[in-house]
Amino acid sequence: MSTPLAVDLSDIWKRFPGVVANAGASLQVKQGTIHAVLGENGAGKSTLMNVLAGMYRPDEGEIRIGGSQYWFRSPSDALAAGIGMVHQEFRLVPSFTVAENIVLGASERIIRKGSIESKVEALAQQFGLNIDPSRPVWQLSMGERQRVEILKTLWRNAQILIMDEPTAVLTPGEADELGGVLREMANAGRSIIFISHKLHEVKEFSDEATVLRDGKTVAASLNVDDTETSQLAGLMVGSSPVTTNRPPDRERGPSLLEVRGLEALDDRHLSAVHDFNLDVHSGEIVGIAGVSGNGQREMAQAIAGLRPIKSGTVKINGSDLSHALPVERFRAGLGYVPEDRLGVGLAPRLSVVENAILRNYKQLRQGPLLIDDKMSIHCQDIVDKFGVRTGPLNEPIAGLSGGNLQRLLVGRELSGEPKVLVAAQPTRGLDVQGVKAIQDLLVAERGAGVAVLLISEDLDELLTLSDRLLVMHSGKIVGEFDPVNSERHDIGAAMAGEVQI
Amino acid sequence: MGRLVLVRREQAVKGGQPLAFLIGLVSALAIGILLLVLSGHDPMAVYERMFDSSVGSPKSWSITLNRAVPLGLAGLAVAVAGSMGLWNIGAEGQILAGAMMAAWMARIGEGWPSPLLITIMLLASILGGALLGLGPAVARAQIGVNEIITTLMLNEVALRLLQWLIHGPWKDPDSKGFPLAPMLPGEARLPGLFERAHWGAVIALVVIALFGLVASRTAWGYELRVAGSSGETARYAGISLKRKIMTVLVLSGGIAGLAGGIELSGNADRIVEGISAGYGFAGIIVAALALMRPSGVAAVALLFGAVQVGGLSIQTMGVSSSVSTILQALILFGAIGAGVFSRYSLKRVQKEKQVGKEGLSE
């Protein structure tokens, strides 16, 4: 008789309005191992982990912990079953000490400071977590705060620890230290689930890896030592269910988007994009492939004007707009489909009409007044032309499905008749029809002589649509591929950062 | 046993708002009967007095109206900021600042033609409130200081300033040592409308309507809605968030300041510490109940005014101020809170059957 699996999730389904986040995902974790869960943004990793941690209730599926079946109503049910989760955003009280944060909410009847602090210290030392229990949390670095979060789960005797992208907030030195702590915990018989899309860390820290894509498990419990990084990268991006035919070759025109020596910082003020050069010509689609978090997001934002440029130039249709406002770039012929549809491209609480006029409302004025007729004609045009299925146009867009939101957004950007279109993850999370519709629009724009920059995590989409395929890694382009005559393996290797050109 | 949850209706019930208002009002009054009987009063007599004193005659209407004016303007001030997701908790201080500026102008302009003096007083009151809003506006827009804290603290500053003026430079030499400012000259008083009502009601209504129009019809109002919905979307659309935050907080202060100017010129004999009977704070409730919409502010303020006038009047028949306050709150929240049910319905959901460990395994 073998020991039962520490975690056995099978056939988990979780649907949200307009999105299927988990479509029969599964995960098996052996006791005393570090198990990496890999997948691109939107692959369903976080949803699956939230199901395991009791934050979400799955629509279908089975959760078995140590061989017994559970049904969690809340995170405290999951905790009672021995599952602790360290979220990306820490949940600590800054003015409390380390020890106070650790015992907070953990049914400690009488709190005697001295004895709690020494107990915390003992627990910390057991796992090699170096921390002073009497220090207030606000004085701690991000790495130290993470240790407090880990200690919180250990204090509650969690046998299974879920870490959601734990290294995203750490310096490389701290990340290595974390790796040691996790190994210590695994050796003590605890099981660790480690979410990441940094492949070298997965390789370094974990024993096994499960890869999710489009809400499904595409590779379960791979032995990490026997698996190439490029193979993992390939599994993550995988193939899309949509078969759009490759558009016929055509002559490309002059370069309409020229980026030279671009440097931009991420939200933590660390360099995210550097030495980045790019030309996109009229009538071509240039695809950008890469594992998430390698600067694609920041690069697109810098081109669109939503992120300041530290150095370098961005020229659109010949004019230097490196430091221009987003709206000035739009007027100069730049259409931009941002990665975050709701909250950046579209304002969630506003109506369909109000969202449709976001880019050109200043042209729909008479004096200070907005003209209702012009607004609704403009909106109706987009809705008709791009097949947006919507209720009354004055209702908030919150009721629209993901695909229809994207049609509205892409339609609005195209209604400005752009010369350059930057589309970041335009088909992510859409259903098959939605993906097809958006891909067709991109191809049509290419046919009309627009310069299209397509940033995607779907390698098949990139291979099908792109005239040229560039791979980004660590903030710059590390390879250019001909989408027709390239090996997937070579592209995967470039995405994993294994080749430098 | 199930659990009750609010479920959003697919569509708001047609004519649901007035119906919910009536049902809420009636239920609040019914609960109030219990409260009054328990505290030893004749409920019907109390309700009759409340009704008569607030809306029973033209005279009581005029008193209610005068009360609704500062409530409505303060409510609008809070709603203007609220429509962008900002909280102006400083309307009380801004009302005082507006009143002080107006009183100052009245001192300077004694003997000027009344329309000129009143116009100058009201413009100055707007400026006073706006100035008090400027500090928090700059701090929020430029370095992200939470406006709730700054506006709240400036209330105290404005109050202390007013106390100093009354005890010091503005103290009436003829007041026999009492810390009182001199009476306002006749030309500084807003003319009457009917009974006790003054022209402030017209001014307030025009301001509220004007802002309602600006918010819903103009590009400026549209930008405000976008910025209130998502700051990132606003940047994407080329709307300057900093400028919007500045304008909105200063404008909000100015509107509250105007309430102070009108209150002084229309309702008071002289500037006193208690010139604002908590209108700035009540304005937060008005705005919240009006769901931050200018169109709702006027109606909520009128109801609020009537309830306050009625609540005060029953204290003269021996109902304690605490019972009166509870009654006011009951009516207000009953009548307006019930509106929720025109947009949401109450559903009973069965508890999930599978709970906890099932122990299906060996």
Q: Residue A33: its pLDDT value, please?
A: 94
DSSP state of A496: T
Q: Could you tell me the pLDDT band of residue B16, with boundaries at 50, 70 and 90?
A: low
Residue B353 in contact with partner chain A when CB distance is under 8 A: no
Contact B236 A365 (CB under 8 A): no
Do A291 and A171 fall within a single domain? no
Q: Which of A417, A434, A456 is the last residue of a domain?
A: A417
Count of domains forming chain B: 1
Angstrom distance (rounded) from CA A234 to CA A212: 12
Do A361 and A462 fall within a single domain? no
C-alpha A162, offset from chain centre: 18
Residue A152: pLDDT over 70: yes
Own/partner pairs, A475-478, CB within 8 angstroms, 24+ separation: A475/A271, A475/A272, A475/A273, A475/A274, A475/A275, A475/A276, A475/A294, A475/A295, A475/A298, A476/A273, A476/A274, A476/A275, A476/A276, A476/A295, A477/A276, A477/A277, A477/A278
Do A439 and A304 fall within a single domain? yes
The set of residues, in sequence order, having a beta carbon less than 8 Å from that of A417 and lying 6+ positions away, is A333
Do A208 and A281 fall within a single domain? no
Do A165 and A308 fall within a single domain? no
**Residue pLDDT, tens place only, A235-292:** 877 655 555 667 777 788 899 999 999 999 988 788 899 999 999 999 999 999 988 7
Contact between residue A218 and residue A235 where contact means Cβ atoms under 8 Å apart:
yes
Per the model's pLDDT, the better-predicted residue between A198 and A369 turns out to be A369
Residue B219 in contact with partner chain A when CB distance is under 8 A: yes
Q: Residue B10: its pLDDT value, please?
A: 56
Which CATH number characterizes residue B147's domain?
1.10.3470
Q: Residue A236: its pLDDT value, please?
A: 78
Do A145 and A264 fall within a single domain? no
Instruction: Tell me which chain A residue has its CA closest to the CA of residue B240.
Output: A325
* CA distances from residue B9 to A15, A397, B16, B288, B349 in whole angstroms, order as listed: 21, 16, 12, 21, 16
Q: Residue B353: its pLDDT value, please?
A: 39
Angstrom distance (rounded) from CA B321 to CA A321: 65
Which CATH number characterizes residue A323's domain?
3.40.50.300
Do A161 and A58 fall within a single domain? yes
Do A144 and A84 fall within a single domain? yes
Indicate whether B47 belongs to any domain: no
B-chain CB neighbours of A370 within 8 Å are 217-219, 222
Contact A73 B355 (CB under 8 A): yes
Mutate to test the interface with A, among B232, B233, B353 (most CBs of A within 10 A): B233
Indicate whether B103 belongs to any domain: yes
Average pLDDT over residues A108-117: 72
Residue B58: pLDDT over 80: yes
Contact A370 B230 (CB under 8 A): no
A-chain CB neighbours of B235 within 8 Å are 306, 326
Instruction: Tell me which chain A residue has its CA closest to the CA of residue B234.
Output: A344
Indicate whether A380 belongs to any domain: yes
Residue B66: closest CA among B264, B322, B316: B264
Domain that holds residue B127: 64-346
Count of domains forming chain A: 3
Instruction: Tell me which chain B residue has its CA closest to the CA of residue A328.
Output: B238
The set of residues, in sequence order, having a beta carbon less than 8 Å from that of A175 and lying 6+ positions away, is A167, A201
Contact B217 A347 (CB under 8 A): no
* CA distances from residue B302 to A218, B243, B280 in whole angstroms, order as listed: 63, 33, 15
- Residue ranges of alpha helices (H) inside A53-87 are 75-80
Segment 234-253 of chain B within 8 Å of chain A by CB: 234-238
Residue A202: pLDDT over 80: yes
Residue A164: pLDDT over 80: yes
Contact between residue B257 and residue B105 where contact means Cβ atoms under 8 Å apart:
no
Instruction: Tell me which chain B residue has its CA closest to the CA of residue A409.
Output: B233
Residue B350: pLDDT over 60: no
**Residue pLDDT, tens place only, B74-126:** 999 999 999 888 999 999 999 999 999 999 999 998 889 999 999 999 999 99
Do A12 and A117 fall within a single domain? yes
B-chain CB neighbours of A328 within 8 Å are 238
Angstrom distance (rounded) from CA B94 to CA B74: 9
Single pTM value for the model: 0.73
3-state secondary structure A344-385: CCECCCCEHHHHHCCCCHHHHEECCEECHHHHHHHHHHHHHH
Q: At what angle do helices B58-82 and B294-315 cross, to 10 degrees?
A: 130
B-chain CB neighbours of A357 within 8 Å are 222
Q: Which of A398, A417, A436 is the last residue of a domain?
A: A417
Angstrom distance (rounded) from CA B74 to CA B279: 7
Indicate whether B1 belongs to any domain: no
Angstrom distance (rounded) from CA A51 to CA A12: 9
Q: Residue B349: its pLDDT value, please?
A: 60
Contact A370 B219 (CB under 8 A): yes
Strand order in the sheet with A255-265: A271-281, A255-265, A311-316, A319-320
What percentage of residues in chain B have a pLDDT greater than 90? 49
Q: Residue B3: its pLDDT value, please?
A: 66
Two structure tokens written together for A301: 């934002």
Do A329 and A354 fall within a single domain? no
Q: Could you tell me the pLDDT band of residue B356, with boundaries at 50, 70 and 90?
A: very low
The set of residues, in sequence order, having a beta carbon less than 8 Å from that of A356 and lying 6+ positions away, is A375, A378, A379, A382, A383, A393, A408, A412
A-chain CB neighbours of B226 within 8 Å are 347, 350, 354, 358
Residue A169: pLDDT over 80: no
Question: DSSP for A87-145?
Answer: -SS----TTSBHHHHHHTTS--SS--HHHHHHHHHHHHHHTT----TTSBGGGS-HHHH
**Residue pLDDT, tens place only, B77-90:** 999 999 888 999 99
The set of residues, in sequence order, having a beta carbon less than 8 Å from that of B225 and lying 6+ positions away, is A347, A350, A354, B83, B215
* Residue showing tokens 């001909």: A482
ipTM over 0.95: no
Indicate whether B88 belongs to any domain: yes
Two structure tokens written together for A182: 């996790």
Indicate whether A115 belongs to any domain: yes
Q: Could you tell me the pLDDT band of residue A472, with boundaries at 50, 70 and 90?
A: very high
Residue B354: pLDDT over 50: no
* Residue showing tokens 């697919």: B10
Per the model's pLDDT, the better-predicted residue between A432 and B35 turns out to be B35
Indicate whether B58 belongs to any domain: no
A-chain CB neighbours of B355 within 8 Å are 71, 73
Indicate whether A213 belongs to any domain: yes
Do A168 and A78 fall within a single domain? yes
Q: Residue B351: its pLDDT value, please?
A: 45
Least confident of A74-88, A165-179, B11-25, B326-340: B11-25
Do A328 and A259 fall within a single domain? yes
Domain that holds residue A461: 253-333+420-501
